[in-house]
Chains A and B, each alone.
Chain A
Amino acid sequence: MSHWVFNGIRTGIKTSAYPRRPETAAGVTPGLPRGRKLDAGEAKALMDTCPAEVFRLEDGRVLADVRRCIHCYRCMRIAPHPALWEQSYEWALQPGRETGFVSAFKKSINICVVDAGDCGSCLNEVRQLNNPYYNIHRLGFFITPTPRHADVLLVVGPVTDHMSLALQKVYNAMPTPKLVVAVGVCALSGGVFAESFACAGGVTDVLPIDVEVPGNPPPPLAIIHGLLVATGRKAPVDMPATPYQSGGSGP
């Protein structure tokens, strides 16, 4: 069995430099749309292509509420005046007041993950966090099976009717201080499942959210950013308020 040891060592270090340095590898993020300056007619065409009502027109600018984006790429691939696209991954927002996680253990955080009806992809991206590429242990984050040990509740999925009670029980079983990180568009607003009578349409209706991570699904780096924001080690972005950037490159 010793060949495993040598093999492991030979693989070398794969781990991302983020958050010390930005990650530059290709394919680590699906990106997010940005608003742009368009006249009323063009803007209407753009808004009509988006099935998730991401864009709105304000003072001659198209603003993008990226928390609603479901990554269908229609705004970029079929709209006559496509939205701008940004290959970022630091997406986490803090909807409420600055929470200031008052814990002595900012660098040793246990995370309890609850699947409240996700499609499997958010959870798969959470799984990647323990992958050598991301290895969240180096940042002091640990996924724990039990709520009793958890500081952070990470929720994915639109909160189905059948999962709502289980989710609340997990939250109640966690000791304080505790934070809720909602990961993925479905956890934020229900995503494509928002209208379903069998879903709550996001975590907000059930629990208070401290950190929101948009994306369908958010890539692992965005989830890491969310966790860093939750523990006060990175600043949240303020995306809905600054959706417009002039310049920028269109596709």
Chain B
Amino acid sequence: MALLLKEQIDKRWPDQAKCTCTGGPHLYEITCARETLAELCGWLFIDMRLKFATLVVEEASREWRLRYIFYGGAGAVWVHVLASSPCSEESFPSIVESVHAADWHEREAEDMFGLTFAGHPRLGDFILHDDAWQENVQPMRHHFDPQMAIRFRKPAADWRPHRIVQEEGAFVMPVGPKFSGATESVHFLLETVGEDVIRFTPRLFYKWRAIEKLAEAKPAGRVLLLAERFAATTAFAHGLAYCQAVERICGAEVPPRAAALRIFLAELERLRQHAGAIQEICESTALVVAASGAGIVEEDLLRISGELTGHRYLFGMLAPGGLLVDLPDLACQRALRGSQQVLRQLEKLEARLRVSSSFLDRLEEVGLVAHQVATAYGLLGPVARASADAHDLRREHPYSGYEKFQFEVPSEEEGDGYARLRVLFAECRQSVRIMEQALDTVAGGSVCRSFPFRAGAALGWAEAPRGATFHWVRLDDQGYIDRYHVTAPSFANWHGFHAAVENFAFQDFPIMLASFDLSVSEADR
């Protein structure tokens, strides 16, 4: 497939696109004329069945550089499609007509940089809320001055929620940003004519902290703190993807001991996050004993993490080049034993849930996501795997030595809430299995190798508990950040979430929300 890709592109677009194989056999860069962009991206996405990872916009001194990153397919390749234009030319053709997964990415680029994407059906009012900011605030531009933006603040006075349903008697039920008990801040517009949710529009970015802007011109070690802390329920996975990007730029090798321990910790985090997700699902169906049982397991895992690393969310373990501190083997063994015990509890819980008909009634055939929808939206993680999209970066684009591990990628066919729950349980089993192997094979030696910084850019990736996370990093030769772009799994999953909730009754909404395990801080950044 790899060779095929280059040949086919040369044949189809001999003058418009140039495909080169850079950095290893699996990474392709295609420089593409703007007129051909949509067609070529569509071909990669639909015909070649690649997945869309992210769109990286960079403002170079004289030109815009856009990088559409695709991955996967039969050959497990990375394909970077590059398009550029002079700085004065701020319009690009939109690719969403064929690559639906890029929808929100283009909206983000429009909001952050002021680029327009010709042919995109709906730009504006995305990250920067129109009822909070005036037009023409472009925070990611180099010349952006927050003082001016704040001083001349002029929100749109006539902002109205986006409405689709125009039926007589239709109304919009707004929910949030503050709603329910202890929930993340997000706003939902639920359109209805009565019992069912007919259209659903999430309004995200209440929690937008502009971490990509914040990272600019900061040393790489400092930005690691941000990478860990912007969505800290999965801090380790994000920190790991970030560290791998920095290491890739600088050509740094991670000592084998650190690589194995990174995997151990990443799986511990997955286990904990999945236990939390299971707890939320049980709670959303008001099955109190099960919710308490899962809650006990979650806290057990938080304590195991805290005892092992000092921190319940694994902060302060990662460092570019390895780990900040070594973990004694005995402590790791203890953590593993604890995790195995926890897994037994989870298995008991699963067995009980399986025979609780009132619980199953609320999950089965609820929040359906068809396989085609999952691929079109580029859904990620357990949500995609429950819709028969058994994709996993640990398997297809292994990092940190995952290629040496034996594990399965669980998947289900139905794409409903129950399928997602089963995937979560199955993944917990696999995580413990990987942790066991990590400790069996862990070598001795140091856990960190320092390295000199180099100018350059690279993508770091990891399979976070909620799905694939991508961190694009550009460094200067002093090790300061030029550009940092994060695409976390919940960004894609929020995009597709509406497809699951539409045409369901209101009372199922909390259950569907819980079964998607969405993180707002991951999407908002």
B232 to A160, Cβ gap below 8 A? no
Q: Which residues of A contact B451 (CB under 8 A)?
A: none
A217 to B181, Cβ gap below 8 A? no
Given A27-B312, A70-B225, A77-B316: A121 in contact with B232 (beta carbons within 8 A): yes
CB-nearest residue of chain B relative to A132? B292
CB-nearest residue of chain A relative to B206? A162
CB-nearest residue of chain B relative to A165? B132
B231 to A119, Cβ gap below 8 A? yes
**B408 at the binding interface (Cβ < 8 Å):** no
Within the complex, the shortest CB–CB distance from B239 to chain A, in Å, comes to 11
Given A118-B521, A131-B299: A158 in contact with B209 (beta carbons within 8 A): yes
Among A119, A162, A192, point to the contact of B521 (Cβ < 8 A).
A119
Proximity bits, B43-69, A CB within 8 Å = 1, else 0: 000000000000000000000000000
A48→B25 CA distance, assembly (Å): 43
Among B209, B287, B290, B520, point to the contact of A196 (Cβ < 8 A).
B209
A131→B276 CA distance, assembly (Å): 11
Q: Which residues of B contact A101 (CB under 8 A)?
A: none
Partner-contacting stretch, out of B33-41, B189-197, B302-310, B499-507: B302-310
**B498 at the binding interface (Cβ < 8 Å):** no
Interface size on B, residues (CB 8 A): 68
Among B184, B208, B222, B315, point to the contact of A120 (Cβ < 8 A).
B184
**B337 at the binding interface (Cβ < 8 Å):** no
**A28 at the binding interface (Cβ < 8 Å):** yes
A132 to B324, Cβ gap below 8 A? no
A163 to B207, Cβ gap below 8 A? yes
**A113 at the binding interface (Cβ < 8 Å):** yes
A51 to B182, Cβ gap below 8 A? no
Among B222, B313, B324, B352, point to the contact of A51 (Cβ < 8 A).
B222
Among A125, A134, A145, point to the contact of B180 (Cβ < 8 A).
A145
Among B229, B276, B289, point to the contact of A8 (Cβ < 8 A).
B289
Q: Which residues of B contact A113 (CB under 8 A)?
A: 181-182
**B6 at the binding interface (Cβ < 8 Å):** no
Within the complex, the shortest CB–CB distance from B231 to chain A, in Å, comes to 6
**B333 at the binding interface (Cβ < 8 Å):** no
**B150 at the binding interface (Cβ < 8 Å):** yes
A145→B183 CA distance, assembly (Å): 10
Q: Which residues of A contact B315 (CB under 8 A)?
A: 30, 70-73, 216
Among A26, A119, A157, point to the contact of B303 (Cβ < 8 A).
A26
Q: Which residues of B contact A131 (CB under 8 A)?
A: 292, 295-296, 298-299
B interface with A by C-beta (< 8 Å): 129, 132, 139, 146, 149-150, 177-185, 205-211, 213-214, 222, 225-226, 229-233, 235, 276, 287-290, 292-293, 295-296, 298-299, 302-308, 310-313, 315-316, 324-325, 352, 355-356, 358, 519-522, 524
Known A-B contacts: A27-B308, A196-B214. Give 20 more (CB < 8 A).
A7-B293, A30-B310, A30-B311, A71-B311, A113-B181, A115-B183, A117-B206, A117-B521, A132-B295, A143-B181, A145-B179, A161-B208, A165-B132, A166-B178, A166-B206, A192-B225, A192-B229, A196-B209, A196-B210, A197-B213
28 A-B pairs (CB sep. < 8 Å): A3-B352, A7-B289, A7-B352, A11-B292, A26-B303, A27-B303, A27-B304, A51-B225, A115-B178, A115-B182, A119-B231, A120-B231, A124-B276, A127-B182, A133-B295, A145-B181, A158-B209, A162-B207, A166-B185, A166-B206, A170-B178, A192-B214, A193-B214, A196-B209, A197-B146, A216-B229, A216-B315, A219-B306
A interface with B by C-beta (< 8 Å): 1, 3-5, 7-8, 11, 14, 25-31, 51, 70-74, 77-78, 113-121, 123-128, 130-134, 143-145, 147, 157-158, 160-163, 165-166, 170, 191-193, 195-199, 216-217, 219
